Structure 1
Amino acid sequence: MASIARCLRAARPTAFSAVARNSTPRAIGARAFSVTAANAIKKYTRDHEWIDLSADKKTGVIGISEYAANQLGDIVYVELPEEKKEVEAGDPIGAVESVKSASDINSPVSGTIIHSNLVLEEKPGTINQVAEDDSHGGGWVAKIEVSEQGLKDFERLLDEAEYKEFTTEQGDH
């Protein structure tokens, strides 16, 4: 943490002096980032799993949705999938238990499980905090090598808007 602070202190005078020399903030060299493409490759199942497909469409990250995590309540245990296991869309790959209930985690697409999020063994509540985060400390469950059939399965999943509409309808019943 101290090294981050030292880096920030060293960078700060330069950034402020750039602003002082130039009246427009663009002089600092800031640029806008677009995340549209990344959002376009995340899809959902009606069973509340999500998959974030890589740009090359060869691998994906699987987890349960924020909606599902909220419905389950405090998650106390996560059964992780077995690595190198071949699965078809809809096959159970693990389970999640909360203070309210237990639920299977199903694979949204066909392929081979290549990695499990071992962080969840020690900290299952991570899913409650960051259910749809596929980074190192996130609540994702598994990584999958997507098969040709898996790409076809992916096309049939719900995009973010469709999933939001689906969960809104479920909340009404």
Structure 2
Amino acid sequence: MRRNGHSLLEFAIAVSVFALLLAVLLDKLGFYQQRGEQVAVKALQINLRAALAGQVATLQARGREQEIAGLAGANPVQWLERPPAGYAGELSAAQAAGLAAGSWYFDPMLHQLVYVRSEQETGLNNAARNICFRVELLGMPSKIAHAETKPVQLTELELTEVNDCRTPPLSAATRR
């Protein structure tokens, strides 16, 4: 004769299977959350590089090439139409200490745009807590060969990822 209820053993097996499926789901959810964070950071990096190129092109078109070097160390967010979600403004590292994961800020002392991420390790910046970017002057060739008009100095700038967010940028004299 069969009873209408389930035994305690059947209930324990069902709960165990459910817990196992939930653990797998949560693991995958964390993975996709990290991937989403990586994609968002890379997308903003692309937008910032395009904005930097736009600033350089504008200065060149206006004949103000001598001002291009002055863009090094600037806050690249100011060139965007609107700041990224979670942008807190220009803050020192001490002021930004309490920012939530997913926030952005520009450190004017270090001339770095900083993304505050969660404690989880990802491949973006060797498991550092923050990801930092800086507008850097890469080189300044002195003259264009065979220039018929006034010689022009070309300046190459790049938005670079900073390996160590805590160190101040190197000056142009120190790098040489």
Q: TM-score, normalised by structure 2?
A: 0.27
Task: Name the larger-Rg structure.
Answer: 2
Between structures 1 and 2, the one with greater strand share: 1
TM-score for both structures, normalised by structure 1: 0.27
